[in-house]
Structure 1
Amino acid sequence: MTDLGPRIEAATARLNETIVSKPKTVIVVFLLLTAVFAGGMTAITTDAEATDAFTDGLEEQEALDAIDEEFEGPFTTDQESTQLIHTSSDVLTRGELLAMLTVLERVDDRPDLRMESANGPATIVAQALDENARTPAQQRQAIEGATNAEIRQAVRAVADEPAFSAIVSDDFSETEASASASMTVISHDVPQEFDDDDLTDVQTAIDSLADEESADIRAFGTGVVNEEFENIIGDSLAIVMPVVVVLLLAFLVVAYRDPIDLALGLFALLMTIVWTFGFLGFSGIPFDQQLIAVPVLLLAVGVDFGIHIINRYREETVQGFAPLEAMRTANNQLMIAFIIVTVTTVFGFGANIISDLGPIRNMGIVSSVGIIFTFLIFGLFLPAAKLEVDRLRNRYGVPEFNSTPIASEESSLGRVLSISATVGQRAPAVFVVILLVVGGGMGAYGAGVDTSFDDEDFLPPEEEAWYVEYIPEPFAPGDYTVTETINLLEDRFEANQDESITIYVEGPFEQDHALEALESPNSDPPESLAVGPGGEADAQSIVTVIQSYAQEDEEFAALVERNDRSGNGVPDRNLDRIYDELFASPAGPQAQQYLTEDRRGAQIEYSIDAEASQAEVAADGAEFAEEFRYDATATGMLVIFDAITGIIFDSAIQGLILAVALTAVFLVIAYAILEGKPLLGIVNVFPIVIAVAFLIGTMRALGMPLNAMTATILSISIGIGIAYSVHTTARFIDEYTDSDDTLDALTTTLSGTGGALTGSMLTTSLGTGALALAITPVLGDFGLLMAMSVFYSFVGAVVAMPPAVFLWARIDDAGSIRAWLSTR
């Protein structure tokens, strides 16, 4: 290791010499690479299916997909479908029914909208009035030809039909023949090559037709949701990025105080974004809501690098050094720090690659590659460009506006930043122990932070934020209605959308014991499923369909009784004949909801305890599935979302542990090789661990859960925050080597590099905090937490690091921890 350190330093010196001696070559190479990556930006695709990407590969989702594919529900077809959601004071009046049928008629007149059939209150009431009214035009005529009294009578006549009650709101009154909301399902006859984009086009066209007829009717479906998700990406970028740029510009003006240096810094930031988005296009990774945060993170790191290189260069020039020598010194000193920051940041960002969730994994990949690009551009290109620009300045007599560093030992900011060095010198061990205790307490408290996953995390809230109405064109977002529609369906159709889980069972269901095997576990279910009057499960399955139809048909009842040897109402022989009779009967469509045509797959729907948590229900469902004789899987959106929630939590904790472990090991090895002082690696990690503990404690205190986006914040905090510790340590080592006085070295470090850290913290925290303005909650929470993370990391580097450095210096002077302890 003793020989390796000098060799690394020599290699770094040679690289820096190339940068400062051949700046034009470096600039040309980087500009050519930028042109190449710009070409890749044209290949970027977007992923509009925000939540679908999280469910890929989940066993629970695969079971649900099998159910959707193999079972027939009352409104499911082999084709795509669109829902028309109708709201009014009373959607069952003559005028409102006519409005809906007029929309259906206009849709039917458009061959490109591929309407095969429609089923809703208006069509059902029209056919109750005229059973021969098959088309929307005929149904409209039936309604037009009826009196209000006849329409109310028709509504009452169909009120008890399941097909009708399932599509009117919970406030439906049979007496008044009224309801405040309804849904009408349009089935589309589509060719095999019909894809999501085609469905989106169809549903948006239907929505436009509905809006032209009545503002109270809107289209809803997969295509509408996908379009909204896709628009969210563009609208969020349109809102966030200008704010980020303005904030960065404002603080970079203060940090650089020179328009030419400012332009250089901004151009380097632009190159970073171009390279990263070009990689995105070349790699084929789709751009989704997760990746909106990546350019903001890269700007944050790029600003940090840029401020450090320009500020350190200025520290040398104000002492009278020529530009070439000043840059050689600045870059020699910063290059090692930049490399360490880049590696540790890649560890922090890249730790998300281990996630089982695709979007989080993609974010880890893209952000890690982007950080490497940031290092190359700011570590190699920016110094070369700065030297070349300064040469041109001197040649053409362009004056410097302000070339002083941000802070110095004589400045007010420098004196404030260096206070912690004086304080930390007095009792460093005591301060370190206090910080460990307080940080440990915050971490323990934060361990109880909630975890969540929900579609609505990715959608704008129903009530838009107050600032949205003040956003000018062309940055103003469009109208978003999906959340409002989802809330309406949950609020007004609650009785028809009871929380439940589904058990998907695979087996030979013509065997004599098959139905008994389905029914027997129901007598002793887990607690959250024991909602029956006697503590049994409340299940709907092929068994309940058989029993229900047996009560209606005597001949079928006799068939069941003859084949029920146990006498419990569940047939246990000749099941193939019973199925044939059942599927050919009026109960056949209902039976198809629970048993596949080949009799090898069944689903059972279970009601659940309304007071049980999602985690309890999911755990009980998984436990219950083990009780079945055949292969069984618990599924349903509640179970799927709980599975994703668990993976999110695991990803957050595993990513944090991996990031801390890799960072600590790397820093210990790096400082052992470079300086022969491995304990400096622990000193580096100490402040950022305290910062992360405070961050997770703050999350719990503010009620901000770990979700699809914020789950990445813990490891990313390591990646972003470690830069503050590394830059502080790197400068301290240089000053300490020259003076061998810990207090003087820390004072110079905190007043000099501390000024750059302050500028970096302000620009980074406010820049990332701008994500809080995004129109989706998931991005807003991430932006706010990122800003807090940066602030905590800065405070850790300035406040927590000095006592740790003093403690390290005393141990280093003693020769070892054991020797130091023996003198206590």
Structure 2
Amino acid sequence: MDYQRLVDWVDSRIVGSPGKVIVAFLLVSLVFAGGLGNVSTEAGTQQFAEDIPANNALEDINREFGPSFSADTGSTQLIQRADNVLSKKELLRMLEAQKRVAEQEELRVTGTSSAAQVVARTIDPQATTLGQQIDALEGATQREVAAAVRANADNPALTGTVSNDFNRRSASSSATIGVVQHTLPSGLSGGGAGMGGSSPLTDIQLRIDRIVGTVGGDITVFGSGLIADEFSGVITDSLLIVTPAAVLFIIFFLIVAYRDLVDLLLGTFSLGMAVIWTFGFLGLVGIPFNQIMISVPPLLLAVGIDFGIHAINRYREDRETGLDIGDAMTRTTDQLLVAFFIVTGTTVIGFLANFASDLPPIKDFGLVAAAGIVFTFLIFGIFLPSAKVWVDRNRERFPIPTFSQKPLGAEGTSLGRVLQAGVVVADKIPVGFLLVALLLSAGAGYYATGVDTTFTQEDFLPPEEVPAYLQALPEPFAPGEYSVVATLNFLEEKFQTTQGGSVTIYVERPMQQDSVLEEIHRMGDSPPDSFVQSDGRAQSQSIVTVIQSQAARDPEFRQVVARNDRDGNGIPDRNLETVYDELLQTESRDEALNYLAEDRQSSRVVYSVTADASQDEITADGRMVADRFRGSAIATGNTIVFAAVSDVIFESAIVSLAIALFGTAVFLLFIYWVLEGKPSLGLANLVPIVVAVSLVAGSMRVLGIAFNAFTATILALTIGLGIDYSVHVVHRFIDERHERPLVEALEVTVRGTGGALLGSMLTTSFGIGVLVLAVLSVLGQFGTLTALSVVYSFLVSLLVLPSALVIWDRLVGNDPDRPIGAGSGRTPPDDDGSDPMFGPTPAADAEPRTDGGEPLADTCTDAGEQTALERGGSR
């Protein structure tokens, strides 16, 4: 395969027509910039749960049961806190808040419910409106109010809305929840508050928050709209904090790496172009921006910085040998375009491995990151060299200031000597050192098997308390005020069955069958440990408990139940159609429809779970209880859905890692077979990646970082980023090995390429490490792991890879004291024309090229020798 012809064509454009190349890239940038305005955001956890069976069941429930679960309705919670929310003063405050909200037509209120309304109707059964209920409470004494509370001490309509510290005797409670129900435009759903994401209720609930604030007292507005608002807000705040910090670090290290103002401007402009292309692509293809994609800009900066430093540093090395601008850049791109292509190919494989995930946001992340890396390759492989040639030629014509043009890690410098530590080891004990490195990676990999997997709504929300160093930031960088997590924690503490503290069993069976209610009742016998228990039974809410509650306070309905209860246990077991008809004529109609589908072909049972139960325990126990039902019953609920997503996340991490490793190995074997006729180089190239991945995985457990929606991509990402470092070393080594003995080739490689890698590592690790400043703690974890993966990849590429290359060189039978091929540019084949490790090479019987198709480095026998390359890229 004559790949060199394509490289030569690109070389000639870069050196011969740099102005045209620059204009072409700027025009393409305008096209992508047009897509920036189409970028939309998608936040929350619902996007991760698509096609999860437990979530599908939860969506079925949301469609089928009750007004608050209707596809075109939503609800807002009013969480009231006080010394006693059941006092006359606080009950009136809740009613007044509900009344002011209901009076606003734009809030589309269809109904309200609260403990205050239950108490008011008990005092005056004729008080059906909020205004009449306020009048009833105002006309009652505190003693009458307390008596009305005690009268409803067994009524779920009251007890289901007050906190766990409800005291029947003193008629008191420290917290209660009122509900305001809304109708929404057709086709929009306000359900799924627990799942977050975009919500049509956001504007409604923000307005309600302002209205309730005029009532006084401590009433918090809560609902899916406000959760969605914070989901989106935390993305904006994180970007506002992380991006400037990353830019500052990157500019600082680029100044150190480039030490020239013009080169710094070229590098930063190219980085900005890569980001514009990637996010313009996002808008043009219609992929929404989600929380995971906050990490895409730092990743692009990481690879772009690496490419930029390598291009400028290698160009400076070649200029140091006395080559002119055109010759030096042609020699640079002749070598680096191939290296950049290998890096791009393996990095894209690492990112596209995320397509094995069943989670749509992770797939989108993989696609966008892969596209961004391809754009980065084009910009830094073609545009940046063209711009550098154009600028340097104009420097010779105009007084453009020039600062240091000395390459990093030059011979004789202290840095150059430090970078050669791995070469010293490789020269003395390569086999022993490599075995130690592989044993260390095996131990780290085994240790990493204990890494946890989590998926919670809080992963996507800001912390309850924002760190002080973030609060101290000036505007516009200071984060906003966040309350959702604090409210969720309060609900979990005070209300056992609220916000994930429950399991829902979705029962699909004709509910008119005589035995069905008895079977639902028996599901709560001998409950598992994670379920809240009362008198040896699971605490639950279902159509059975609604029937029992209504019968307890309604003599007429009690008689209906008794006539259809053959065994006298309070649960009807015949003529259930009649029982349901009568129940739906009572005040319990809305509550009943929360547990009984209107077509009476399904039902749901909600079990309270203990606060300290884990996701896995709740999931296992919920499925065990569902199995007790003689028919189709599925355990679901937010907790179980999140547990299922956690399983998928872990599976995605492992499968993506396997695909990335396999795909990278195949690609490297193939590419080195094509480029050098030595596929075995691909295995040497892969050694440091295996070590780096194992170290990253082991570090996750040491640092207590679990696989979550963000870190699930880290192992495949480590391959994608880590291969960058090892490819540059291997490709530079084989280039130098054609001209030099083994150890000298390694020394030149780590001195030149190692210097660029060091600058890239420092810039990238700090640039990505600033993610620890993000408001989202999981984003900080992702930044920490990504920075570690870069540092590990750098270290193993300079410490472990030299030993692997020495062993490879021995195995293929090269003479360590002579250049391979004696200047022919190719490793001499065996007598049969085969690679000593992998058999026949594609060019084993080909005549040596005389048309300039061999790599330029092969024509040089001394670092300072002038090549035969002609200006403009022709040879």
TM-score, reference length from structure 1: 0.92
Shift, 1:650, TM fit? 0.5
Give the structure 2 partner of residue 173 of structure 1: 167
**What percent identity do the matched residue pairs reach?**
48
Residues 1:512 and 1:122: Cα distance change in structure 2 (over 3 Å): closer
Give the Cα–Cα distance (whole angstroms) in 2 for the partners of residues 131 and 512 of structure 1.
Answer: 35
Mean alpha-carbon deviation: is it higher for 391-400 or for 779-788? 391-400
Superposed, which structure 2 residues align to 1:433-452 within 5 Å? Answer: 433-452=435-454
Write the letter of the residue equivalent to 1:504: Y
Mean alpha-carbon deviation: is it higher for 783-792 or for 8-17? 8-17
Shift, 1:768, TM fit? 0.7
Q: How many residues are aligned here?
A: 808
CA contact (8 A) 2:523 2:628 kept: yes
Give the structure 2 partner of residue 791 of structure 1: 791
Mean alpha-carbon deviation: is it higher for 114-123 or for 52-61? 114-123
CA contact (8 A) 2:304 2:380 kept: yes
CA contact (8 A) 1:19 1:26 kept: yes
Superposed, which structure 2 residues align to 1:359-438 within 5 Å? Answer: 359-438=361-440
Write the letter of the residue equivalent to 2:155: E
Give the Cα–Cα distance (whole angstroms) in 1 for the partners of residues 96 and 626 of structure 2.
Answer: 47
- Pick from 246, 265, 269: which aligns with 2:271? 269
Give the structure 1 partner of residue 848 of structure 2: none
Give the structure 1 partner of residue 861 of structure 2: none
Give the structure 2 partner of residue 490 of structure 1: 492
Shift, 1:317, TM fit? 1.1
Q: Does 1:109 align with 2:111?
A: no
Give the Cα–Cα distance (whole angstroms) in 2 for the partners of residues 95 and 104 of structure 1.
Answer: 15
Give the structure 1 partner of residue 802 of structure 2: 802
Shift, 1:571, TM fit? 6.2
Give the Cα–Cα distance (whole angstroms) in 2 for the partners of residues 426 and 745 of structure 1.
Answer: 16
Q: Which secondary structure does the structure 2 equivalent of 1:603 belong to?
A: strand
- Pick from 87, 104, 113: which aligns with 2:81? 87
- Pick from 68, 72, 93: which aligns with 2:66? 72
Q: Does 1:31 align with 2:26?
A: yes
CA contact (8 A) 2:546 2:591 kept: yes
Superposed, which structure 2 residues align to 1:581-620 within 5 Å? Answer: 581-584=582-585, 590-606=591-607, 613-620=614-621
Give the structure 2 partner of residue 771 of structure 1: 771
Give the structure 2 partner of residue 300 of structure 1: 302
Mean alpha-carbon deviation: is it higher for 225-234 or for 115-124? 115-124
Q: Does 1:341 align with 2:343?
A: yes
Give the structure 2 partner of residue 559 of structure 1: 563
Give the structure 2 partner of residue 691 of structure 1: 692
Q: Which secondary structure does the structure 2 equivalent of 1:269 belong to?
A: helix
Q: Deviations over 1:119-172 (max 9, x none)?
A: 223333444444444444444444445554554444444444321222222223
Q: Deviations over 1:769-821 (max 9, x none)?
A: 111111012211111111111111111111111111111111111774699xx
CA contact (8 A) 2:496 2:608 kept: no
Give the Cα–Cα distance (whole angstroms) in 1 for the partners of residues 541 and 211 of structure 2.
Answer: 39
Give the Cα–Cα distance (whole angstroms) in 1 for the partners of residues 530 and 666 of structure 2.
Answer: 46
Give the structure 2 partner of residue 122 of structure 1: 116
CA contact (8 A) 1:74 1:590 kept: no
Give the Cα–Cα distance (whole angstroms) in 2 for the partners of residues 172 and 372 of structure 1.
Answer: 61
Mean alpha-carbon deviation: is it higher for 252-261 or for 397-406? 397-406
Q: Deviations over 1:333-363 (max 9, x none)?
A: 1010000000100011111122111111110
Give the Cα–Cα distance (whole angstroms) in 1 for the partners of residues 15 and 72 of structure 2.
Answer: 67
Give the structure 1 partner of residue 243 of structure 2: 241
Give the structure 2 partner of residue 455 of structure 1: 457
Give the Cα–Cα distance (whole angstroms) in 1 for the partners of residues 530 and 251 of structure 2.
Answer: 55
Q: Does 1:731 align with 2:726?
A: no
Give the structure 2 partner of residue 59 of structure 1: 53
Write the letter of the residue equivalent to 1:737: H
Shift, 1:613, TM fit? 3.5
Q: Which secondary structure does the structure 1 equivalent of 2:455 belong to?
A: coil
Shift, 1:113, TM fit? 1.8
CA contact (8 A) 1:73 1:590 kept: no
Give the Cα–Cα distance (whole angstroms) in 1 for the partners of residues 577 and 512 of structure 2.
Answer: 6
Q: Which secondary structure does the structure 2 equivalent of 1:172 belong to?
A: coil
Write the letter of the residue equivalent to 2:346: T
The structure that is helix-richer by fraction is: 1
Give the structure 2 partner of residue 670 of structure 1: 671
Write the letter of the residue equivalent to 2:350: G
Q: Which secondary structure does the structure 2 equivalent of 1:80 belong to?
A: strand
Q: Which secondary structure does the structure 1 equivalent of 2:618 belong to?
A: helix
Give the structure 2 partner of residue 822 of structure 1: none
Give the Cα–Cα distance (whole angstroms) in 2 for the partners of residues 19 and 300 of structure 1.
Answer: 24
Q: Does 1:163 align with 2:176?
A: no
Give the Cα–Cα distance (whole angstroms) in 2 for the partners of residues 182 and 588 of structure 1.
Answer: 22
Write the letter of the residue equivalent to 2:20: T
Give the structure 2 partner of residue 743 of structure 1: 743
CA contact (8 A) 2:540 2:607 kept: yes
- Pick from 42, 45, 49: which aligns with 1:47? 42
Give the Cα–Cα distance (whole angstroms) in 2 for the partners of residues 518 and 171 of structure 1.
Answer: 29
Shift, 1:327, TM fit? 0.4
Give the structure 2 partner of residue 652 of structure 1: 653
CA contact (8 A) 1:420 1:799 kept: yes
Q: Which secondary structure does the structure 1 equivalent of 2:213 belong to?
A: helix
CA contact (8 A) 2:113 2:178 kept: yes
Give the Cα–Cα distance (whole angstroms) in 1 for the partners of residues 609 and 172 of structure 2.
Answer: 30
Give the structure 1 partner of residue 6 of structure 2: 11
Give the Cα–Cα distance (whole angstroms) in 1 for the partners of residues 447 and 206 of structure 2.
Answer: 47
Shift, 1:21, TM fit? 1.0
Give the Cα–Cα distance (whole angstroms) in 2 for the partners of residues 182 and 607 of structure 1.
Answer: 18
- Pick from 463, 480, 505: which aligns with 1:478? 480
Q: Which secondary structure does the structure 2 equivalent of 1:602 belong to?
A: strand
Write the letter of the residue equivalent to 1:20: V
Write the letter of the residue equivalent to 1:488: F
Unmatched tracts of structure 1, length 5 or more: 820-824
Q: Which secondary structure does the structure 1 equivalent of 2:739 belong to?
A: helix
CA contact (8 A) 1:771 1:779 kept: yes
Give the Cα–Cα distance (whole angstroms) in 2 for the partners of residues 637 and 673 of structure 1.
Answer: 52
Give the Cα–Cα distance (whole angstroms) in 2 for the partners of residues 614 and 650 of structure 1.
Answer: 17
Write the letter of the residue equivalent to 1:457: D
CA contact (8 A) 1:74 1:163 kept: no
CA contact (8 A) 2:306 2:757 kept: yes
RMSD between superposed Cα atoms in Å: 2.8
Superposed, which structure 2 residues align to 1:218-257 within 5 Å? Answer: 218-257=220-259
Give the Cα–Cα distance (whole angstroms) in 1 for the partners of residues 179 and 306 of structure 2.
Answer: 54
Q: Which secondary structure does the structure 1 equivalent of 2:288 belong to?
A: coil
CA contact (8 A) 1:688 1:722 kept: yes
Mean alpha-carbon deviation: is it higher for 333-342 or for 588-597? 588-597
Residues 1:737 and 1:647: Cα distance change in structure 2 (over 3 Å): same
Q: Which secondary structure does the structure 1 equivalent of 2:765 belong to?
A: helix
CA contact (8 A) 1:439 1:694 kept: yes
Q: Which secondary structure does the structure 2 equivalent of 1:472 belong to?
A: coil
